Amino acid sequence: KAGVTQTPRYLIKTRGQQVTLSCSPISGHRSVSWYQQTPGQGLQFLFEYFSETQRNKGNFPGRFSGRQFSNSRSEMNVSTLELGDSALYLCASSVDRWETQYFGPGTRLLVL
Amino acid sequence: GESVGLHLPTLSVQEGDNSIINCAYSNSASDYFIWYKQESGKGPQFIIDIRSNMDKRQGQRVTVLLNKTVKHLSLQIAATQPGDSAVYFCAELNYGGSQGNLIFGKGTKLSVKP
């Protein structure tokens, strides 16, 4: 069974731009969570989607948004990028909401 | 709020030795814990999990121990190999809240010396 896939793997943007990241969960997994990982803050929860609905949201500004499609694939969007948004963005999927999460390789975003 | 923390940020061991990575958790009601391994440039990889109704669980070369009395979790790696070099995170199941469904510790970096 294929693992969680994320595209693109690397991205360079400039301040003020917006970006969309994509995540394809493991087949059969219905829950998708997104995390931001930085050296200073570690793994921080962004949001969780289940059955196309956002079920939970972390403490991030409204510039961070996401959605989930009927096939469980998910996207996250960051608008008006700031230098501090440079990070590794990780997507994790699980069969159900409170089950083991399996992570993708991440998308490394660099904001210049 | 509740949190999961690690005692040691770095651990250096000799190849072939056993490694022990520790984790303290604060929510005595937590009933599910997971250990992840993250290699440089990769996403966290599931290693092993344990439910609160167990105090020990073994996998291939790894053992997780849970001591609910002192709210302590540990990951033991037998015969540590260079490929085990990575950052290890413990995670605690959290039923809702702005921290998400899993609360992660800050991680312990394991370095294996040949």
Sign of the torsion angle spanned by Cα atoms A31, A62, A36, B7: negative
The rounded radius of gyration (Å) of the Cα atoms in chain B is 14
- Where do the H-state alpha helices sit in chain A? none
Contacts of B107 in chain A (CB under 8 A): 42
Output the DSSP codes for B82-103.
GGG-EEEEEEEE-SSSTT-SEE
Contact B100/A4, CB-based, under 8 Å? Answer: no
Calculate mean pLDDT across residues B52-77. Answer: 95
Residue B96's pLDDT is: 65
Decide: A90 and B100 in contact? Cβ < 8 Å: no
Residue B7's pLDDT is: 42
Q: What does each of the 112 residues of chain A score in pLDDT, given as a tens digit?
A: 789 999 999 999 999 999 999 999 999 999 999 999 988 888 899 999 999 999 999 999 999 999 999 999 999 999 999 999 999 999 999 999 888 999 999 999 999 9
For residue B80, what pLDDT band results from cuts at 50, 70 and 90? very high
Chain B residues 43-102 with CB within 8 Å of chain A: 43-46, 49, 89, 93, 95-102
pLDDT digits (tens, 9 = 90+) for B17-62: 999 999 998 788 888 999 999 998 899 999 999 999 999 999 999 9
Contact B100/A97, CB-based, under 8 Å? Answer: no
Interchain CB contacts (distance < 8 Å): A and B: 54
For residue B101, what pLDDT band results from cuts at 50, 70 and 90? confident
Contact B98/A103, CB-based, under 8 Å? Answer: no
A36, B52, B80, B45: CA torsion to nearest 10: -30
User: What is the Cα–Cα distance from B112 to B114, expressed in whole angstroms?
Assistant: 6
Calculate mean pLDDT across residues B60-66. Answer: 97
Contact A56/B100, CB-based, under 8 Å? Answer: yes
Nearest CA in chain A to B37: A103
User: What is the Cα–Cα distance from A72 to A50, expressed in whole angstroms?
Assistant: 8
Collect all residues with Cβ–Cβ distance below 8 Å to B30 and sequence separation of at least 6. B2, B52, B92, B93, B94
Contact A59/B44, CB-based, under 8 Å? Answer: no
Residue bearing tokens 């294929």: A2
SS (H, E, C) B31-45: CEEEEEEECCCCCCE
Residue B31's pLDDT is: 86
Q: Is the pLDDT confidence value at B102 over 50?
A: yes
User: What is the Cα–Cα distance from A31 to A68, expressed in whole angstroms?
Assistant: 9
- Closest-CA distance, B91 to chain A, in angstroms, reads 10
Residue B5's pLDDT is: 41
Q: Is the pLDDT confidence value at B6 over 60?
A: no
**Average pLDDT along chain B:** 88
* Range in A8-12, B7-11, B85-89 with the lowest mean pLDDT: B7-11
Number of helices (H), then strands (E), belonging to chain A: the values are 0, 11
Residue B8's pLDDT is: 46
Q: Which of A85, A84, A102 is nearest to A93 (CA)?
A: A102
First-last CA distance in chain A: 37
Decide: B23 and B34 in contact? Cβ < 8 Å: no
Among A56, A58, A103, beta carbon nearest to B44: A103
